[in-house]
Amino acid sequence: MGVAGPTLPHGAGLTAEDWEVVRSCRLFKGLEASVLATVTEVGHARKVARGHRLVEPEQPWLHVLVVLEGELGAYLDHSLQVSVARFVRGDCVGENAVLGDGASSLYVVAQLPTRVLAVEAGAFRALMEHAPRIALNLLEILSARLAKSNTNRLRAELPKQEFERLATHDPLTGLNNRRWMNENFARELRQAREQRPAALLVIDIDYFEAVNDALGHAGGDLLLRAIGEAIRRCFRPGDLSARMSGDRFGVLLPNTELAKARDAAERLRAQVAAHPMPIRNGVTSTCTVSIGLSETIAGELEPTLAAATAALQQAKDAGRNRVTTFSVSGGSTSSQ
């Protein structure tokens, strides 16, 4: 890649129509007629053939250009596939000629047979010193371009952010999903092994299949959302919750002794049992949950989850709507 400046073959001078473009373009707005006359005296109309590359990355801009007719395109890549801007009649380009080191960061190419007003960098600086309004106009143009660039970047990032959110969240309940749970619960339990206690709850909706059979999946979905909301209400902001699968949920309570975790589990169980849940078009129904609870086992997710799941099964076998707790030292205990 060379370092020579852009090549602009000489063409005819400015026409009356060109003068109107110069007079109305944003770069020269608000200038007195005498200053505009100076612009047209130091600038020269140039023709640019379609496909001509005016400048490439690392080449210096030698002129500030105003598009008189036609169109210029700016690209990030040599193959001209990644377009970032287009410049049409009245737009200016090449401000790098008077700002910074003057080097281009883009490929600028004529999209059509194009004519531009080219003002040499030194002459343009002299114009700005003579008429500071030009510098203010240039600042406004650059600010607008920066705002547009930031908006486009955010728009490009939002789908990525949404994709990442969907990859870690359950779309039905809004809780985190099993994938997120496996990673984050495991990390928190490893920290608990070294620094502080933790407890893991596995929560299951009692007779959920019967709800689906009686009311259909729409009723079951409403119930799942309601349980997800109850979980959010009952636990602390720093607690970790996830929908594991189907009607099963997991909640990890960091920095929590087993007795305190049991109190929290009982609070959730009691609230679900005491408050009818929405199931269809304003219709509500009573619902209960069974909960298995385990303290951390060796700071590892798999054995801790297995113990909590086994405690959950014991709660169901004992009649449901209860909390069963597994303790490494004391085995399992159940309460309703």
Query: Which of 158, 187, 221 represents a domain boundary (last residue)?
Result: 158
Provide the CATH number for the domain around residue 152: 2.60.120.10
Q: What is the pLDDT of residue 6?
A: 42
Cα separation, 88 vs 72, in Å, equals: 7
Instruction: Confirm whether 239 is a catalytic residue.
Output: no
Q: Which residues face 324 on adjacent strands?
A: 292, 334
Q: Which of 91, 206, 239, 247 is catalytic?
A: 247
Q: Note whether 198 and 114 are same-domain residues.
A: no
Q: What is the pLDDT of residue 106?
A: 86
Q: What is the pLDDT of residue 212?
A: 80
- Helix-helix angle 132-168:178-194, to 10 degrees: 90
For 56, how many CA atoms within 13 A lie in the half-sphere containing its CB?
A: 12
What is the span of the domain harbouring residue 285? 178-335
Q: Note whether 149 and 218 are same-domain residues.
A: no
Angle at 178 between CA 261 and CA 182, to 5 degrees: 70
Contact 58, 3 (CB under 8 A): yes
Query: Which of 123, 158, 193 represents a domain boundary (last residue)?
Result: 158
Query: Which of 158, 187, 205 represents a domain boundary (last residue)?
Result: 158
The torsion angles phi and psi of 142, rounded to 5 degrees, stand at -65, -35
Q: Note whether 189 and 81 are same-domain residues.
A: no
Mind giving me the DSSP string for 267-287? HHHHHHHHSPEEEETTEEE--
Cα separation, 309 vs 28, in Å, equals: 73
Please give the single-letter amino acid code of residue 267.
R
When divided into structural domains, the chain yields a total of 2
Quick one: three-class SS letters along 125-167? HHHHHHCHHHHHHHHHHHHHHHHHHHHHHHHHHHHHHHHHHHH
Note the residue count of the chain. 336
Residue 172 lies in a domain: no
Report residues of the chain scoring pLDDT below 50: 1-12
Provide the CATH number for the domain around residue 287: 3.30.70.270
Q: Note whether 83 and 21 are same-domain residues.
A: yes
Q: What is the pLDDT of residue 150?
A: 64
Residue 292 lies in a domain: yes
Q: Note whether 323 and 247 are same-domain residues.
A: yes
Task: Decide the pairing of beta strands 323-327 and 289-295.
Answer: parallel
- Collapse the DSSP code of 207 into the 3-class scheme (helix H, G, I; strand E, B; otherwise coil) and give the result: coil
Task: Decide the pairing of beta strands 283-285 and 289-295.
Answer: unpaired
Q: Note whether 63 and 152 are same-domain residues.
A: yes
Q: Note whether 90 and 141 are same-domain residues.
A: yes
Q: Note whether 63 and 23 are same-domain residues.
A: yes
Q: Note whether 197 and 141 are same-domain residues.
A: no
Q: Note whether 183 and 331 are same-domain residues.
A: yes
Q: What is the pLDDT of residue 5?
A: 40
Q: Note whether 55 and 146 are same-domain residues.
A: yes
